[in-house]
Amino acid sequence: MSGRESMREWFIVYLKGMFMGAADAVPGVSGGTIALITGIYERLIAAITALDPGVLRYLPRVHRRTERAELRAALVAMDVPFLLALGAGIATALVTVAQVMTYAFETYPGLVAALFFGLIAASAIVLYDHVSLDTPRRVAVAVFGFVLAFALSGPEVSNSMPNSPLFVLVAGSIAIAGMILPGISGAFFLYVLGQYEFLTGTLTEFTDGLVGLASGGSLEVLIEPGIVILAFGAGALVGLFSIAYAIRWALANYREATLTFLVSLMVGALRLPATEVINNTPVATPTAIGSVLAVAAVGGALVLLVDRYTADIDFS
């Protein structure tokens, strides 16, 4: 493979990462689903499960040529270059979408909520075929999932969730499961836990601070948002090797019950965007109602469009 061809391949991986990041940035389609569509899901999971902290033993002697060669070989064997290229694409999309969503939350909060309603509702519809209510236990799982999400998605609960680094760490560990597993979006969990708007705003604040730093700004403006981002990243690492594995195990061994629970969460969580739409649409004029319905329809259509190209995907 020539250098040019190699760079082209890495650029394609980067673009696929951008598509994954764009999906992960809104509570609808999962980045894992996009990975399936683009044909890199198996490689992604293999690379993640191949990560070995033992490679750090090379770092103290990295100044030696032989140790650098061994370190490079170990990283290539774990497919770390692939993860870096993919991660760069995901990060680019997350930053870009965060900028857009921060502006949208400030300017069109009702329409943003309508978009999220359409995305979440359509996602529940797409996964409904995988729901099974043929046993009392699965019915109980569905009821529990719905009640749990309905209770958490009440504005009085969601808006009262703390934005502390510790809670962000917990939210990150939960969200990462949705970000890499097909079927449910990581941003959905952040939205229900009341962290979505806070984190998109924090990411925007951090990137704006970086831009300002390059033009002579203060480093202090990066400290507070930087701590939040580090907390989320730490939580994502914890979840990557714990919660994500647990959900994969549950899907492999209790597929119907797990998907029933996840879909019930989505349906129960529709309370939050519905309430936000009502609260931010004080005057129910035909134009306002039409705009809300149109935006919700667009969100639903996006999910259904993705589902059209994933009809043969087995979410187990």
**What are the pLDDT digits (tens) for 209-248?**
888 887 777 788 889 999 999 999 999 888 887 876 777 7
How far is Cα 31 from Cα 89, in angstroms, rounded to an integer?
A: 12
Distance of CA 164 to the CA centre of its chain: 20
SS3 content of the chain, % helix, strand, coil (to 5): 80, 0, 20
How far is Cα 225 from Cα 205, in angstroms, rounded to an integer?
A: 7
Whole-model pTM: value is 0.79
Q: Looking at the predicted structure, is the pLDDT value of residue 291 above 90?
A: yes
Say what percent of the chain tops pLDDT 90.
29
- Region 29-38: mean pLDDT is 77
Residues 122 and 49: beta-carbon distance below 8 Å: no
